Amino acid sequence: MTDKTHDSTVVMDPSERDAAMSAAVTIQEKALTPGPDAIHRAELVVIGSGPGGYTAAFRAADLGLQVTLIERYPMLGGVCLNVGCIPSKALLHAAKVIDEAEAMAVHGVVFGKPTIDAVALGEWKNQIVVRLTGGLVQLAKQRKVTVLQATAKFHSANRLELDNGGMVEFQQCIIAAGSQSVRIPGLPDDPRIVDSSGALELYPLPKRLLVVGGGIIGLEMACVYNSLGVEVSVVELMDSLMPGTDPDLVRPFLKIIKKRYDSIMLGTKVTGMHATVPGIEVSFEGKNAPIAQVYDRVLIAVGRRANGDKLAADKAGVSVDERGVIAVNKQMQTNVPHIFAIGDLVPGPMLAHKASHEAKVAAEVAAGEKSAFDARAIPSVAYTDPEIAWVGLTETDAKRDGIEYEKAHFPWAASGRALSLGRDEGFTKLLFDKASGRVLGGGIVGPGAGDLIAEVGLAIEMGADATDIGRTIHPHPTLSETIAFAAEAFEGTLTDLYLPKKR
């Protein structure tokens, strides 16, 4: 990686870009770039084509606005499609297949040790990305959304200037410029030190990987590399993995990876990195700090930073805080009402489904509808193995804010389906409002937790209580039953477990 590409995580590997471009290029060519002096006018302009930006652009176009979507890269889709959610999930699927095959060995189904063709695997992943981003170009075309490839900056409250010299004059604007990886200053400039985008490029597979940062992104990549046979170590400054997540949800995951990973260094700080010929030499400090270690790849996954301050937003009068975050109201309007902001660069979790939901609100408001961000819960999922998912109130938050709640818990060890998957470490928990009995939140750990959590989200939005969930017939045998069982446990009507009477 050159110096230049290194300072921006979102920059894609050239090979990936070429592949994607071949699909996108025909349309992009037409979707021209206004030349110098040219003024392009739009009723609504959207900056950034991630899940926030493209959703906003499409929804607004469907509502009759004349929309222009500006993206600095040749491929639409933003972080999520190109170097985030989608490629990482493709690789995690590969990891899962490997692990499940291996796990069956003790039960009598023995496969040989897999051979990993990192190049082919990477290509499969890239093809998925190309297919999806190409699909977006198609969708934009069908909706007559004008796509401009350029980096945009504000010139005034009604005008953007593009890096190619063009100008876009808009009536309304939606800022959806996303976020990028935080870089640790002073690290050697070495291709073996990568961010999440770099980590998605598997080839050549390292022998030893250090993941700096025990958050979701780092741990998902750790899972992939570990399953592919790489010796993985994780170092995290805080005392727990996925800081902020309820510790009980993380515990089953931690137990499993402790056995599989080289080392998990919590409460440990990286104090230095040196590029040497055999690898990157990393020194640590803290309770569990080992002596300096050498890794042949280091993934820096210490968080992401909002891009709000990279757009000269002050020229439009839009306030941006010192973390690059733009404050918005329930209509997703910034302090300048005809300029909206959505996605990673507004407050809240940096998640694709939050970005796309906000996008619809912003587009609707821009089109004159009375819409508002009314969602009560945003689910979070770590697609690790086991998966960890939660939605709504967490116990950590409830304790911090002094919110009274009651809890129901169902261990997957009592679920026939979980056992038949060979997995008994998971559990499902639900949190209820003491007064109304309504579901406030839920957490699930175990395979497929991310898919299961959607039902808890629906329950929260609908104001369901334990009876509503328990009395909804869930198919047997599925993992979804564990949600109904947790609700029944709360009600005292559960028969699949013996629980001593409450109260």
Ligand X SMILES: Cc1cc2nc3c(=O)[nH]c(=O)nc-3n(C[C@H](O)[C@H](O)[C@H](O)COP(=O)(O)OP(=O)(O)OC[C@H]3O[C@@H](n4cnc5c(N)ncnc54)[C@H](O)[C@@H]3O)c2cc1C
Residues 347-366 that bind another protein (CB under 8 A): 365-366
The backbone torsions φ and ψ at residue 323, rounded to the nearest 5 degrees and listed phi first, read -100, 10
What's the CA dihedral at 414, 420, 426, 429 to 10 degrees? -50
* Position 368 contacts another protein (CB under 8 A): yes
Amino acid code (one letter) for 170: F
Catalytic residue among 155, 274, 353, 476, which? 476
Q: Report the residue number, 36 or 112, with the smaller CB distance to another protein.
A: 36
**443 near 496, Cβ under 8 Å?**
no
Q: What is the DSSP letter of 120?
A: H
> What is the spatial distance between Cα 373 and Cα 386, in angstroms, rounded to a whole number?
31
Q: Least separation, in Å, of the C-beta of 137 and ligand X?
A: 13
Q: Least separation, in Å, of the C-beta of 405 and ligand X?
A: 26
Element (H, E) at 399: helix 395-401
The partner residues of 30 in beta bridges, in order of sequence, read none
Contact partner, 70, from another protein, ligand X, none, Cβ < 5-8 Å per class: ligand X
Which range of residues in 101-109, 283-291, 334-342, 482-490 is near another protein by CB under 8 A?
Answer: 334-342
The backbone torsions φ and ψ at residue 431, rounded to the nearest 5 degrees and listed phi first, read -115, 135
SS3 of 326, please?
A: coil
* Position 245 contacts another protein (CB under 8 A): no
Q: Least separation, in Å, of the C-beta of 74 and ligand X?
A: 10
> What is the spatial distance between Cα 23 and Cα 81, in angstroms, rounded to a whole number?
15
SS3 of 208, please?
A: strand
Q: Least separation, in Å, of the C-beta of 309 and another protein?
A: 22
* Position 110 contacts another protein (CB under 8 A): no
Among 61, 302, 325, 351, binds ligand X (CB under 6 A): 351
What string marks each residue from 125 to 164 as x (binds ligand X by CB under 6 A) or -? --------------------------xx------------
Q: Report the residue number, 104 or 372, with the smaller CB distance to another protein.
A: 372
Contact partner, 177, from another protein, ligand X, none, Cβ < 5-8 Å per class: ligand X
Q: Report the residue number, 212 or 355, with the smaller CB distance to ligand X.
A: 355
Q: What is the DSSP letter of 117?
A: -
What's the CA dihedral at 29, 31, 35, 37 to 10 degrees? 180
Query: 173: closest CA among 8, 282, 317?
Result: 317
* 476 counts as catalytic: yes
Which residues are known to be catalytic?
A: 476
Site residues for another protein per CB under 8 A: 30-32, 34-43, 66, 144, 146, 156-158, 167, 169-172, 330-331, 333, 336-338, 365-366, 368-372, 374-376, 436, 438, 461-463, 465
